Structure 1
Amino acid sequence: MTTPDTRHDADTLLHDWQDVRPPKRYGVFLLNDDYTTMEFVVEILTEVFMLAEEQAVAVMLLVHHEGKGLCGTYTRDIAETKQRQVMQRAKAEGHPLQCIVEEV
């Protein structure tokens, strides 16, 4: 039985670590509309994005006054999953709430 070669060249290991970059981050944003209730937006923020009630109200007011509010930043897959959850819940409740994902 042969033993695997576990020797590593120090230069190769150092070079490999230099090429590793953290994953890109994506922001999930809610967009304001004239029909979705503030209560529903706060519910989305607390249940989907796990924000505390006070934070959820602050983000909801930002969406209401500025037209767009950041709910959180995530890796791409998680951001897209959060977006789908928001859109599905909004559709199920009959709200036209829009949610977008942008690289931050």
Structure 2
Amino acid sequence: MTTNQSEKDEGLLTKNEAQNLKPSLYAVIIFNDNYTTMEFVVNMLMMIFDKDKTEANFIMMHIHTKGEGIGGIYPYDIAEYKLQAARDLAREAKEPLVLEIREVS
């Protein structure tokens, strides 16, 4: 029986190995500047990052007072998509908004 059990256990991951397979998460960082309007940032947070108006205003004020803030935390592909969507929206609105993604540890 031990041989059969060993054969069944081959190919199974340990708990630590399984945890290592979880995708890394990335934060979409939004930077403050002296030109992008607060209204644009709030609207962008609601449109791209699915925030309600209260949360969008809170994040916008955090960005305004602290210099940067997090739009959201996602797996890499989604973070990259949200980053590009926000950049496209800013470019269309002629806003100089700067964003980046950072891996969350």
TM-score, length of structure 2 as denominator length? 0.85
Where 2:70 maps in the other structure, the secondary structure is: strand
- CA 1:66–1:18 in 2, change beyond 3 Å: closer, same or farther? closer
Q: Which residue of 1 aligns with 2:59?
A: 59
Cα offsets for 1:69-93 (capped at 9, x unmatched): 0111000011011000011110110
**How far apart, CA to CA, are the structure 1 residues paired with 2:7 and 2:39?**
59
Q: Which residue of 2 aligns with 1:11?
A: 9
What are structure 1's unaligned runs of at least 5 residues? 1-7
**Percent same amino acid at aligned positions?**
35
What are structure 2's unaligned runs of at least 5 residues? 1-5
Task: Kindly tell me the number of residue pairs found equivalent between the two proteins.
Answer: 97
**How far apart, CA to CA, are the structure 2 residues paired with 1:18 and 1:28?**
28
Q: Which residue of 2 aligns with 1:83?
A: 83
Deviation (angstroms), 1:38: 0.4
